[in-house]
Amino acid sequence: MTEERFDIRAVRGLSEAEAARRLKTEGPNELPQARRKNLLKIAANVLGEPMFLLLIAGGVIYLLLGDRGQAVILLGFVAVIMGMTIYQGGKTERALEALKDLTSPRARVVRDAAERRIPGREVVRGDTIIISEGDRVPADAVLVAALNLFVDEALLTGESVPVRKNPYAEEALPEAVARPGGEGIPFVYSGTLSVGGFGVARVLATGAATEIGKIGRALREIKAEKTPLQKQTGGLVRSLAVVGLSVCALVAVLYGIARRDWLEGFLAGVTLAMAVLPEEFPMVLTVFLALGAWRMSRRNVLTRRVPAVETLGGATVLCVDKTGTLTTNQMAVKKIYRPGGGDFAFFDVESAAGRPMPEEFHEIIEYAVLASRKDPFDPMEKALREAGGLWLVNTEHIHEDWTLVQEYPISGRLLVMSRVWRPNGESDYVIAAKGAPESIGDICHMTEEEGRELVSRVDRMAGEGFRVIGVARARSKPAALPDGQHAFTFEFLGLIGLADPVRPGVAAALGMCREAGIKVLMITGDYPVTAGMIARRIGLGGERPQIITGPELRAMDDWQLRRRIKEADIFCRVLPEQKLRIVNALKAGGETVAMTGDGVNDAPALKAADIGIAMGGRGTDVAREASSIVLLDDDFSSIVQGVRMGRRIFDNIKKATVYVLAIHVPIAGMALIPVVLGMPLVFMPVHIVFLELIIDPACSIIFEAEPEEQNVMARPPARGESLIGRRTLFMSMLQGASVLAAVLAVFLAAVFRGRAATEARALGFTTLVIANLALILVNRSWTMGLAASLRVRNPALWWVAGGAAIFLAAVLYAPALRSVFQFGALGPADLLVCLGAGVVSVLWFEWFKKAGRDHNRALG
């Protein structure tokens, strides 16, 4: 049977009336529309974040103080961030829409004994559908008739090799479809692509009940989690806000009661609030992550969820989808065997390294190409034609001008495809055949000994992970052609091994992942032998990688899986929901999971992972929309660059956070101590605003531009590391306390020596500005010394330092500004005292860094 010979009258199909009734009762053949989030709800969620509340509070305070410039800056950040979040929130809901587009092609159905072409959404359960080469399957169905039907199910199984479909063998059709995957099964699935042949099928499931619909349900049920950085920052800001505002309110009340000056008390409370509340944190996160995403985009890594930039740096496990991620998802000729070649029986394409193919192997490729279609859908035939174009160009083995006479398709009884050609200027026909090696041996009428030799060669090539096909040729007089291929006298030419090639740079990238302490797991729907071969080729798991199969995984409970997963290197023959289960098991074990993939079947796991990484070039829309990060160039090594960038961002955010907390200690201390001691206020809001002009660009620009530490990819991931741990918090507070001591000492010394209050204030403020710049310098690196870090280029540092020096000179020596700041004039000796006190207050940290370097060297 061919499509031309198919008798449409033999199938009546549903009636139009019955189809309309089922469409009304069961719904259209499409996935449910993803519920659109209300923009007001998204905005409310954004405003509920402590960092945004802090920004708004800071803006309001500045408005109350009449400083519209600072208020506009802070509230402008709120508007920009909210706009970005609302825009991104709308985009992240598009995964189901992409699935919906994929599952609603046009379809050919038989109704009332007549063939019709209808929108895919109108296909109903019980419809009879016709599938031809190049058609997208509109629904899950069982085949009632098929001829040489091959279907690409990569979007469901992840495998690049199309599978052959046979019609259902029993008379009574089943009520439900079996799971996808495997040769010869009689089911076809919604969204998959026919790459060859013809079939007639009865629809068993539509819409959300299909296999691709189940993936859609899984996507809807998975809730996006906050990143560790978001959780830590939110908690830190909440704690500081509660403590800071409580202290400020208490100071304002106590000041008003003790001194009967409520206006001065309110001013003291506002000053302390501005000094204590670290409103820089939202800016730090926004700028660092936004610029980090921009830097990654320049390396072909698109960030769809900005916080994932930092999270990637903390990944402890990388789950890698083999097909399309480690491999190119394109079949290619890798090895060729010719009988009787002795020591030269094999031609290895990879080891040829650009050398021409020996003439003895040309005929094998020549006849494999002749046995393939000129414009094929099948990836294997595409690979054969590409090999012909590469190896046979400018030879006599190219026959574009030959005339095709007849084709003998593959059948269930004989897995061989033969094509009969009429060469120009010759009377005899030439027959080219390719197919399963055992079937090629059959039509070549091999002897028992020749058969054993063939099996031995096939086993050797299959053991190396190749898909093996045999090639044969025959000649025939131009008489009536026989009905079957067995009637020809075929000559066995050889074997061709095809494989899905490993992407360049994958092995090196995996090596860097191991050095960085990241465990790599391969997750694939392929067979254990093929997966193991790929793993050994890229250095995953050593010589004997530990493999867990899908059936073994199904037999495990969650506790067993969490235990076994620690030793596993490969999961093979897995189903989509099992990928999701693997990701969840890793997360339950405390891992930070990054998951790569490109197919529809990867989407639930991509969305559930801490960092979902989709392939941008070959990835489906569904995979991209479900992911946090997209590799625009499909280069696996870009993941390593992403990890490096993420770790750098986390390190620099940590440095900025330490600096912000440290500098707020002397600012808050100088705002609080005079109140406690009954002295006049030292710093007014205008002084805090001036300091913020240094602090804001320092924490958001200088530290962001710092390069990564030398050991950034030679240390284990920061597993559960807090942004501000006890040790880091202690070091930050110690830095701040030492600066506070220096500033307070200079200020009190001036007071006790009888200097005017304006001069004492100017001395304390100048010391604080200098100490502030010194804090920036020593915190640029926690591994390099000050002298070494000064040699590292960071233009923003000198712009900020130069601007601070110019502004300080202006407020000290411009009469109008000096009056606003209530400063007295300072002489050269005063400036030297401030410079010495400010620098000395933080120099002890250089000794601390040196001790750390000496300790690391001692450990080797």
Active site residues: 321
**Residue 7 tokens, joined:** 């008798």
CA dihedral sign, ordered 302, 308, 310, 314:
negative
Q: How far is CA 465 from CA 15, 166, 502, 721, in A?
A: 49, 25, 12, 41
CA dihedral sign, ordered 718, 719, 722, 726:
negative
CA-CA distance, 769 to 694, in Å (whole number)?
8
CA-CA distance, 689 to 402, in Å (whole number)?
84
CA angle, residues 354, 355, 358, in degrees to nearest 5: 140
Which are the contacts of 593, defined by CB distance < 8 A and separation ≥ 6? 315, 316, 317, 319, 583, 586, 587, 609, 610, 611
CA-CA distance, 613 to 624, in Å (whole number)?
8
**Residue 403 tokens, joined:** 């005339």
CA-CA distance, 121 to 511, in Å (whole number)?
47
List, in sequence order, the alpha helices (H) in 569-636.
576-588, 603-608, 621-626
Q: How far is CA 617 from CA 302, 378, 590, 599, 620, in A?
A: 12, 20, 32, 12, 9
Q: How far is CA 246 from CA 249, 265, 296, 437, 662, in A?
A: 5, 14, 41, 81, 20
CA-CA distance, 167 to 412, in Å (whole number)?
10
- Angle between helix 637-677 and helix 726-752 axes, rounded to 10 deg: 40
Please give the helix or strand (H or E) that residue 308 lies within, else none: helix 308-313
Instruction: Label residue 713 left, alpha or beta by phi (over 0 means left) and psi (-120 to 50 means alpha).
Output: alpha
**Residue 461 tokens, joined:** 């090539």
**Residue for token pair 């996935």:** 31
SS3 of residue 44 by DSSP: helix
Phi, psi of 109 (to 5 degrees): -125, 160
Phi, psi of 142 (to 5 degrees): -110, 135
Which are the contacts of 853, defined by CB distance < 8 A and separation ≥ 6? 783
Which of 833, 705, 700 minimizes the C-alpha distance to 770? 833
Q: What is the 3-state secondary structure (H, E, C) of 778-819?
A: HHCCCCCCHHHHHCCCCHHHHHHHHHHHHHHHHHHHCHHHHH
**Residue 575 tokens, joined:** 């189903």
CA-CA distance, 860 to 849, in Å (whole number)?
17
CA-CA distance, 307 to 653, in Å (whole number)?
12
Looking at residue 514, its amino acid is R
